[in-house]
Structure 1
Amino acid sequence: MTPEIQILQAELWSSMPDALRLQDRPSGWVTANKPGAKVDSFLEGPTMAPDGALWVVDIPYGRILRVAPDGTWTVMADYDGWPNGMRYRPDGTLCIADYKRGILRLDPQTGTITPLFEGYRSEGFKGCNDLWFAQDGTLFFTDQGQTGLHDPSGRVYRAGPGLSDLEVLLDTGPSPNGLVTNHAGTELYVAMTRSCEIWRMPLFATGTSKVGLFARLPAGRSGPDGLALDRLGNLYVCHASRGSVFVYNPHGDQIARIDCQAFGLTTTNLTFGGADCDTLFITVSDTGIIAKASIKTLLE
């Protein structure tokens, strides 16, 4: 039996202050991705800190921002890069998937940024997009670049807990984007933006096998972006042109949709927060807004 699909409405949590919105600073990212448009920010990579603050990236202007629980925004780093995804490492430092510079490490106390991985076997990355740390500290990240249906050569990488060696898990992806492991650490879910699909990748000591289709999302001007997994194993998928988060149970059945369209259509990424991790914080990038949604009914 197909489960009933719940429709949940997102609420406004915080909007980037006008003083931090940039329009006159040149950006190669805007020129390449939004030609002719006025782009004052493009938020991504939300990450909840232990103190309840939400950290986000601003891709075109190379900024890392902290939003305090009281709604105060602070620029924590401003550098020459295009930061896209961001996650906490088990050691408390932040790691960034940067389109221009690879995988970076950020000291949240000082704002200092240092390179972690700048390429693979003397070859530069196509353009890193998002990253994920498994419970044991294993790093997974996507290298999307300009890949798509015309060029399905995007890569998914893995590095062990010591972060010393890289392994290519997949090199045939049509724009791999957000990613997350299941709770057992035996499977990796990857959003393929241009094909509007979520791929399921079984994980082995070396490599993967029998990669399959887990879910297919509605097509549009873009596709699935950031991913998150709740404590029941339900998968949350941001759609970057539908203003929605689609929710699937562990069997690939859609069980809910979180509607963010009142705030914009470019829902790019999300993270859990709240006392019981029952609130989603969602970046709506076309408007510089962070929305929130309670998922308590999905956890009952």
Structure 2
Amino acid sequence: MDISEIKTLGSGLARPEGVMAEPGGGLVAADARGCCAKISPDGQTQFYGNVGGVPNGICLDKQGNCIIANIGNGQVQCLAADGTHTVLFDKADGRAMPAPNFPFLDLQGRLWVSNSTAGDLEQSLRQPAPDGCVMVYENNRARIAAEGLYFANGVAVDSEGKYLYVAETTRQAISRFAIGKDGSLGDRQTYGPEPLCDLGFPDGCALDEAGNLWVTFPARGAVGYIDPDRRLCMVAEDRRMEVLRRPTNICFGGKDRKTAFIGSLDSQSIAYFPVPYPGQALIHQL
């Protein structure tokens, strides 16, 4: 894809790491100033909420509430449209989770949340260690579902609820777990190449209806996908980071969910471009 095909929407954002597409055509984005933003289809941007910390990954529930993995204060929060919020949890199995990174609400109603590290964020990026995990929250209780992950980051679950995908950033790989009927996870399997590619530190991931797992690469300024044959296909690459400015999370929306919207670490807006297959419908898009 030529970089000129990538457009942007919204303005004035600060580190919009997480982005979600609403059914009506608008977007919701995380903002590092302790709030979120609503972006209308014509680009008007309004900020709401006061959740503190640094909102990172986000997802939406059926009611349109924004679930936030707040990597700045260690809380997983639920932000309503009126700006009020509640804390869903900050511990799993009685252990503090200091670095919640990305939440994913599957079609069975389970909330999966990655926790990147048990220690210092910057140190964990410089000195990789298997101290990340994935938590699952159901019936008002959070438990640890998988441990021993290298900077657990983006999370996705297929529409049938069979597999959980996790981006392990410092391992430069995607892991996949079979999901049991009781919500337990099977053994970790590497999904796709390892390492993924040069500067292949994955951040976000999302599935489309063709079975492709889309992945963002902030250090490379790139977005690609792992096809069902587990080959990595690069779609957009912006080494100069003129528009894909350290891309982080990806979601699908617009007409037939055939537009990819990209969160980032460095942009003040949301990049977007057309994709060949519809994105998998998330729980708030059904």
| In 2, Cα distance between equivalents of 1:298 and 1:141 | 24
- Among 42, 45, 65, the alignment partner of 2:37 is 65
Q: Does 1:202 align with 2:178?
A: yes
Partner residue in 2 for 1:259: 237
Contact 1:235-1:247 at 8 Å conserved across structures? yes
The runs of at least 4 aligned residues of structure 1 exceeding 6 Å deviation read none
Contact 1:157-1:170 at 8 Å conserved across structures? yes
SS of the aligned residue for 1:276 comes to helix
SS of the aligned residue for 1:225 comes to coil
Deviation at 1:297, TM superposition (A): 6.7
| In 2, Cα distance between equivalents of 1:96 and 1:155 | 17
Q: Does 1:172 align with 2:144?
A: no
Partner residue in 2 for 1:44: 17
| In 2, Cα distance between equivalents of 1:135 and 1:106 | 20
Structure 2 unaligned segments of length 5 or more: list them. 280-286
SS of the aligned residue for 1:296 comes to coil
Greater Cα offset, 245-254 or 146-155 = 146-155
Question: Which deviations, in whole Å up to 9, do the C-alpha atoms of 1:198-236 show, x marking residues without a partner?
Answer: 00111112522231110232243x711111111111110
- Counterpart of 1:246 in structure 2: which amino acid? G
Deviation at 1:85, TM superposition (A): 1.0
Percent of aligned pairs with the same residue?
A: 25
| In 1, Cα distance between equivalents of 2:40 and 2:186 | 43
| In 2, Cα distance between equivalents of 1:15 and 1:71 | 4
Partner residue in 1 for 2:250: 270
Deviation at 1:124, TM superposition (A): 1.4
Question: Which deviations, in whole Å up to 9, do the C-alpha atoms of 1:108-164 show, x marking residues without a partner?
Answer: 1x111110012124321131000111112111110113345632110101123x4x2
Question: Which deviations, in whole Å up to 9, do the C-alpha atoms of 1:213-261 show, x marking residues without a partner?
Answer: 10232243x7111111111111100111111111111231123422344
Give the number of the structure with larger relative contact order, counting CA–CA contacts within 8 Å between residues 6 or more apart.
2
Deviation at 1:15, TM superposition (A): 5.0
Partner residue in 1 for 2:94: 122
| Structure of greater Rg | 1
| In 2, Cα distance between equivalents of 1:174 and 1:51 | 36
Contact 2:21-2:254 at 8 Å conserved across structures? no
| In 2, Cα distance between equivalents of 1:264 and 1:232 | 24
- Counterpart of 2:163 in structure 1: which amino acid? E
Contact 1:265-1:286 at 8 Å conserved across structures? yes
Contact 1:263-1:289 at 8 Å conserved across structures? no
Q: Does 1:135 align with 2:113?
A: no
Partner residue in 2 for 1:181: 157
Contact 1:263-1:284 at 8 Å conserved across structures? no
Cα RMSD (Å): 2.1
SS of the aligned residue for 2:203 comes to strand
- Counterpart of 1:277 in structure 2: which amino acid? R
Partner residue in 1 for 2:225: 247
Contact 1:105-1:116 at 8 Å conserved across structures? yes
Q: Does 1:13 align with 2:8?
A: yes
| In 2, Cα distance between equivalents of 1:153 and 1:144 | 8
TM-score by length of 1: 0.82
- Counterpart of 1:274 in structure 2: which amino acid? G
In structure 2, relative to structure 1, the CA distance for the partners of 1:15 and 1:106 (3 Å cut) is closer
In structure 2, relative to structure 1, the CA distance for the partners of 1:294 and 1:168 (3 Å cut) is same
Structure 1 unaligned segments of length 5 or more: list them. 1-6, 21-40
Contact 2:17-2:265 at 8 Å conserved across structures? yes
- Counterpart of 2:258 in structure 1: which amino acid? D
In structure 2, relative to structure 1, the CA distance for the partners of 1:197 and 1:143 (3 Å cut) is same
Contact 2:56-2:68 at 8 Å conserved across structures? yes
